[in-house]
Amino acid sequence: MRPIHYASVSGGKDSLYMLRLILTKQDKYPLDMVVHFELEIDWDWSKKVIDEMERICQQIGLKFVRIKPRKTWEEIYNKYGFPNARARWCNNIYKLDCKKQLNEWIKSQNCRPVAYIGFCADETDRFKYEIGNWDKQDCCYPLAEEGIEEKDILEWAKNQDLLKDYYKYFKRQGCTGCPMATMKEWAYLYQKEPDRFEYYMQKIRETEIMIKNKGRSWQFKNIGVDEFERRIKDKWIKKLENEQLIE
């Protein structure tokens, strides 16, 4: 079947760098379209990065596709409660529904997908395939193919207007409200998007009560939402602000 080559972009530093790389090496990396899985839980700053990617694609006549999950984050939350490290429905039920929709469409075109994914040369533990020969694979890692390491892109990101305010303090971008996020990342969310932070606190609080009413015990981050929120507002936001003052 004919391959459809697409760049999978999240709005983070690696996907933006990868897209710019691919566009300079079209002979090596043929590209039919750029795809973004558009989630309600994306950072506000990363939405601006996606808008910039779409603008770049429009300028050169390249198809840019945004795919949303068929169920909202809150619809799934109402069934399962707030996601946690053992039940990350935010990924396998919510986000990956976008990929399922994409693959269904590609199959309907009697084609097969080949995704360009922004894994770097020093992230081999994340690879599905080895680099070098990807003619029959369903994904490829252009950054790794070109020998580009994550530290190189991180330094580049610190000097990009759309990226620097985040990557001065963090190496990687996840979704807001990620159950795997660090205290510092939660503090950054509280600082930059306080309404969203308070929304998540309420949802976590509801989940703790729901689980307790079922006769089970669960505390967010093993300390409970009230203590977690107190630490963010009393300790971690101050640590973040002190780090920002040094810049």
Identify the residue whose tokens are 């300790």. 235
pLDDT in tens, the chain (247 residues): 899 999 999 999 999 999 999 999 999 999 999 999 999 999 999 999 999 999 999 999 999 999 999 999 999 999 999 999 888 999 999 999 999 999 999 999 999 999 999 999 998 888 777 776 667 788 899 999 999 999 999 999 999 999 999 999 999 899 999 999 999 999 999 999 999 999 999 999 999 999 999 999 899 999 999 999 999 999 999 999 999 987 6
DSSP strands (E only) in the chain: 2-8, 33-37, 63-67, 111-116, 139-140
**Contact in structure between 75 and 203 (CB atoms under 8 Å):** no
Is the separation of the CB atoms in 230 and 178 below 8 Å? no
Written as one letter, the residue type at 224 is G
Residue 190: burial class (beta carbons within 10 Å; 0-12, 13-18, 19+):
buried
How much of the chain is in helix, strand and coil states, percent to nearest 5?
55, 10, 35
> pLDDT tens across 127-163, in order?
777 776 667 788 899 999 999 999 999 999 999 999 9
CA distance 156 to 180: 25
Burial of 38 (0-12, 13-18, 19+ CB in 10 A): middle
pTM of the model: 0.91
